[in-house]
Amino acid sequence: MSNRKLLIENVHVEGYDTFDVYRKHGGYRSVEKALKSMTPDEVVEEVKKSGLRGRGGAGFPTGMKWSFLAKPEGVQRHLVCNADESEPGTFKDRYLMEKNPHLLIEGMITSSYALGANLSFIYIRGEFMYILHILEKAIDEAYAKGFLGKNILGSGYDLDLRVAPGGGAYICGEETALLESLEGKRGNPRMKPPFPAVKGLWGNPTVVNNVESIAAVVPIVNDGGEEYAKIGIDRSTGTKLISASGNLVRPGVYEIELGLSVEEFIYGDDYCRGIANGKKLKACVPGGSSVPILPHFLVTKTAAGADRLMTYESLADGGFATGSMLGSGGFIVFDEDQCIVRNTWNFARFYSHESCGQCSPCREGTGWMEKVLHRLEHGHGNMRDIELLEEINKKIEGNTICPLGDAAAWPVAAAIRHFRDEFEWHVNEPQQAQTRNYGLITQPSVAV
Amino acid sequence: MAHTDNGPVEFSAETMSKINELIASYPEGKHKSALIRILHLVQTEKGWVSTPSMNKVAEILNIQPIEVYEVATFYTMFHLEPVGKYVFEVCRTGPCMLVGSDNIIEYIENKLNIKVGETTNDGVFTLKTAECLGGCGYAPLLQCKYKFHEHLTKERVDELIEEYRSGKHDQN
């Protein structure tokens, strides 16, 4: 299939991170078009028509999210860009912001105009401090050229744009935790409702969007929502940045048209070029650490035998029984030498470390799962531990005020679902499990 | 290691001017939003975030000290104890582990003769682990003073240690 790039096409052009070079390649056209010839509602309408779905992981339609924004008279509104990219396996926004900072700035201006926001923020994880400086340089240039500040391009529209860092906390990728952090507080998620669209930053109506979603607004406004919607398949429209990691020949960030086959993405010459060191594929987590892991025989094909595609629908085909999720596009690949129990423990440790501690099921449950998985991995587990993990899982899922609990529970549940034999082998053969890996599992002969 | 954790502290003129600029960038009454970035500035100047430093920040922002403590203790990037001149924070999460971060951590421990969480006797290096640093495709990796060092190998770690010792990374 064709391979149109809308977000990172020119990033290898010398000086593309400067205003002048970016502008020479057609940059900031969407701002001119929106501010001079469109009403804010018309911009929202184009985003709705584009079918763009939130690129941070949840996949919620961006245009619809925008239309929920409350607009009480005389109350300031805000657009906040979520650049807290922290989901293990995900490093696409970092790439986009570092290589193409003006695209994000342009998207912020056009999107802020659509939402009627006059003070907007980019909240970036503290570890990306060097990118904060890249963005601030780009913002300074945009101010100097009249694309930010008072009366932008003589339109009468004013916008100030600021960047704020986090301090190292995965939870701040959750939008209400992010807002708390932006207010200079601990990143404890808020109870919803009220949603940020009604009460967000400093109590004002606020939209929070992922970096890539905001960047995608630029081509959508330039070319029209209908043109954008022609790319992709069904309800998976447009292009998507996929960050590929793990045991691949060529890991990295790729912009794909949604609908590319998973087979092509893993093995194709234009993409990851297969499994590193001539090994075999064992498993794949296609959308960031929170989404269910797939065993090798469900990665490139669905349980029904159809080609698995890089779309929201196809990756979820089969539900949690035999499918997964596109998520954030954090595509993690495991070769035959990797231990699923060890990786599950590693992820559990991550969630335990990152739980904010507000809700007991998550605070206690993530720590408990980490302990149980640690003893299974280190040869001290028993069969009952596997059931125990499933029980703890059920007690976390759905019982917390933010999705971190679910995000911690799903990977464990999926690992046990597909790799139960490997978990049991760790119990039955603890000595062997310390010295060698279990290897590949075989595809069940009966349809799963 | 010589350090003091008592008595009032002062921030440099440069840090203070950045702090004041930050505060001014927020709307009237919303200056507390500058807190996290101020803590980054303080840590950059002092190397870590001490209680007197936090008290000073509270005074500058005209908020209660507890409002600073609760934030500084929540976010993992802030060192609340003295650390070495350079802190190596090695990512240990899944995608890094798949390509050998465990070995890199162990190698650095042996090379510097310290365990994770410890500082070398000469006070130059502290080794810590970090959860996903957002560089999974360039793993294994570590971060030191906001700088990423990726595609780590044992040889590269040897070089890095020499580079830091010789002050190569002290600029910028």
Answer whether A350 sits within 8 Å of B27, measured CB to CB.
no
Alpha helices in chain B (DSSP H): 13-24, 35-46, 51-61, 65-72, 94-98, 101-112, 154-165
Contact A243 B40 (CB under 8 A): no
Give residue B1's pLDDT. 40
Residue type, B1: M
B43 to chain A, any CB pair closer than 8 A? The answer is: no
Which residues in chain B have Cβ-Cβ distances shorter than 8 Å to A244?
137
CA distance B21 to chain A (A): 12
Q: Flag whether residue B111 sits within 8 Å of chain A, measured between CB atoms.
A: no
Q: Give the pLDDT of residue A441.
A: 77
pLDDT digits (tens, 9 = 90+) for A299-311: 999 999 999 999 9
Strand extents, DSSP E, A288-345: 294-295, 330-335
Q: Which of A22, A35, A67 is nearest to A48 (CA)?
A: A67
What pTM was estimated for this model as a whole?
A: 0.96
Q: How many CB pairs under 8 A join A and B?
A: 140
Please report, in angstroms and rounded to a whole number, the separation of the first and last CA atoms in chain A: 30
For residue A360 the two structure tokens come to 């007991």
Contact across the interface for A330 and B136, Cβ inside 8 Å: yes
Q: In this predicted structure, what is the pLDDT of residue B8? A: 78
Domains B13-72 and B86-165 fall in the same CATH topology = no
List, in sequence order, every residue forming a beta bridge with A241; answer none if it has no partner: A255
Closest Cβ–Cβ partner in B34, B98, B146 for A184: B34
Domain ranges for chain B: 13-72, 86-165
Residue A448 predicted with pLDDT over 50? no
ipTM of the complex: 0.96
pLDDT tens column, A270-318:
999 999 999 999 999 999 999 999 999 999 999 999 999 999 999 999 9
Residue A379 has, within 13 A of its CA and on its CB side, a CA count of: 9
Nearest CB partner across the interface for B33, out of A182, A350, A353: A182
Mark yes or no for CB contact B71/A185 under 8 Å. yes
Q: Is A124 exposed, middle or buried (0-12, 13-18, 19+ CB in 10 A)?
A: buried
A89: Cα within 13 Å, side-chain hemisphere: 31
Whether B74 sits inside 8 A of A187 (CB atoms) is: yes
Interchain CB contact of A345 with B (< 8 Å): no
Does A346 contact B143 at a Cβ distance shorter than 8 Å? Answer: no
Give pLDDT, residue A435.
84
What is d(CA A72, CA A69) in angstroms, rounded to the nearest whole number? 10
Q: Do A167 and B77 touch (CB under 8 A)?
A: yes
Candidate from B72, B74, B134 with C-beta closest to A127: B134
Contact indicator for A50, A225 with CB cutoff of 8 Å: yes
Q: Does B116 contact chain A (CB < 8 Å)?
A: no
Percent of chain A with pLDDT over 70: 98
Say which residues have a Cβ less than 8 Å from residue A400's Cβ, sequence separation at least 6.
A359, A361, A362, A406
Within 8 A of A353 by CB-CB distance, chain B residues are 131
Nearest residue to B37 via CA among A124, A187, A131 = A124
A245–B137: do the CB atoms touch at under 8 Å? Answer: yes
B105 vs chain A: nearest CA distance in angstroms?
Answer: 15
**Residues from chain A contacting residue B30 (CB–CB below 8 Å):** 183, 202
Q: Which CATH number fits domain B13-72: 2.115.10, 1.10.10, 1.20.140, 1.10.3470?
A: 1.10.10
Tell me which of A84, A182, A245, A289 to substitute to probe the interface with B (most B C-beta atoms closer than 10 Å): A245
CB A266 within 8 A of CB B115: no
pLDDT confidence tier of residue A442, bands split at 50, 70 and 90:
confident
Distance CA A209, CA A216 (A): 11
pLDDT tens across the length of chain B (172 residues): 445 556 779 999 999 999 999 999 999 999 999 999 999 999 999 999 999 999 999 999 999 999 999 999 999 999 999 999 999 999 999 999 999 999 999 999 999 999 999 999 999 999 999 999 999 999 999 999 999 999 999 999 999 999 999 999 997 5
Which residue from B32, B70, B97 is facing A186, i.e. has the nearest CB? B70
Under CATH, which number does the domain B86-165 receive? 3.40.30.10
A245 to chain B, any CB pair closer than 8 A? The answer is yes
Closest Cβ opposite residue A169 in set B34, B70, B74: B74
Provide DSSP, A339-371.
Answer: -HHHHHHHHHHHHHHH--S-SHHHHHHHHHHHH
User: Please, where are the H alpha helices in A183-273?
Assistant: 211-223, 225-230, 262-267
Q: How far is B165 from chain A (nearest CA, A)?
A: 22
Tell me whether B146 touches chain A (CB under 8 Å).
yes
Q: What is the pLDDT of residue A446?
A: 53
Exposure letters A332-364 (e unless 16+ CB within 10 A, then b): bbbbbebbbbbbbbbbbbbbbbbbbebbebbbb
Q: Which domains does chain A have, with CATH numbers?
A: 19-230 (3.40.50.11540), 233-335 (3.10.20.600), 340-435 (1.20.1440.230)
Quick check: A137 contacting B, CB < 8 Å?
A: no
